[in-house]
Chains A and B, each alone.
Chain A
Amino acid sequence: MSNEGYNARFINRQSFIELDARERAKALFDAGTSRELLGPFDRVESPWLAMQGVTPQEDDGCVVMKGKIAGQAAVVVALEGAFQGGSIGEVSGAKMTAALDLACADNEKGIRTSAVILLETGGVRLQEANLGLAVIAELMASILALRKHAPVICLTAGTVGCFGGMSLAAGLASYVVMTREARLGMNGPEVIEQENGVEEFDSSDRALIWAIHGGEQRYATGLADALVGDETPQVANAVRHLVSKGVPPVHRSSQVALYRNRIAKLDTSQQWNPKEFRALWTTNGSDEENR
């Protein structure tokens, strides 16, 4: 067969997307340096799910690991997309914010500690609505506190993607890393279609969805800082590189004038297609002139 070589490469690749949250977190650390905090045997699970007839998971779908990345102290928090759509509840949220706050405290003591957050999530867990919403606010405060000291890296690999309130958290990150398969957006395609009709957004049109929410478009429009292939060594390399790079001189979310200016210049009387939008968006004012 002529394509035998290609198939072998594809089959033998170490997919990152196929890993579960625990394996993903572990894969980012320098070999042999990671240890899990509040693992499944600690049985810190959601008290709210069983009351509503939903089977809980012992780690509440949130894996926290401490160790070293590129030789420096780092904490990785990974959401399990297969459990309740990676939704953030009281317990998973508390684990995430506590991990970031402890990293922040370490930084204040002079131990430089970066954070990597693996987001496969539809946002707030509906069964824990108000507590989940509170978590988003706490998480955003924790990211803002930590990112002054060390980079906070949000990684969305797919296939769930990152939506809802958690996309706002990703927006505050020092760096966003995505694969081509990942999606990042505030409202998911089904939600937009439900609210504004199929003419506004056809959620069954996968090409359209990825052209707007997909990693490639987010990278091309400057909303993601690295686009990686679905290969574990490539993903881990990108994270190592960003940890070593340190805190960016200006965070994306601090460039208020730049984005205001871009939105103001956008002619919304016509429908832009994603490709045209790419060119337009990135030429609509540079970082320097708006700073």
Chain B
Amino acid sequence: MEQIEFNYPAKRKVPKGAHVGVVGSGDLEVLLEPAEGEVAHVSIRTSVDGFLDTWKAVLDRFFTKYDGAVRIQINDAGATPGNVQLRLEQAVEVSER
């Protein structure tokens, strides 16, 4: 298991948190919580080691569109980058509904 942390700049407050997904094979769990300040912090635990560059690429792309001040916890059980992207977008959708 590998632990990975990222920080991204944020511009706006988020109304509420969201929890989506399950730590099942090829899937992941995303917990999104509103945070103070102008930063988004992402904390990842993944069962598959050695994919730091891939995680960075997925999150870099996600944060080109998303600017909420949040704490995001990801518990991953080997999801593909596409799956990660979808779960993140789902979490955002739930938190802004």
Contacts and interface: CB of A to CB of B under 8 A. Distances in A.
Contacts of A50: 1, 45
B67 interface: no
Contacts of B77: 55
Nearest to A49: B1
Contacts of A84: 23
Identify the interface centre among A53, A61, A82: most chain B CB within 10 Å of its CB. A82
Given A41-B33, A54-B47, A55-B47, A83 B24 contact: yes
Contact of B1 (A54, A80, A83): A54
B12 interface: no
Interface residues of B, number: 18
Nearest to A22: B19
B47 A58 contact: no
Contacts of A58: 19, 29, 31, 73, 75
A40 B19 contact: yes
B22 A82 contact: yes
Contacts of B29: 40, 57-58
B22 A55 contact: no
Task: Classify the secondary structure of A's interface with B.
Answer: loop
A57 B22 contact: yes
Contacts of A108: none
Interface string A45-56: 000001001111
Contacts of B33: 41
A58 B76 CA distance: 11
A39 interface: yes
A56 B47 CA distance: 9
Contacts of B1: 50, 53-55
Interface of B: 1, 17, 19, 22-25, 27, 29, 31, 33, 45-47, 73, 75-77
Interface of A: 20, 39-41, 50, 53-58, 61, 80, 82-84
13 contacts: A41-B17, A41-B33, A55-B47, A55-B75, A56-B23, A56-B75, A57-B22, A57-B23, A57-B29, A58-B29, A80-B24, A82-B23, A82-B24
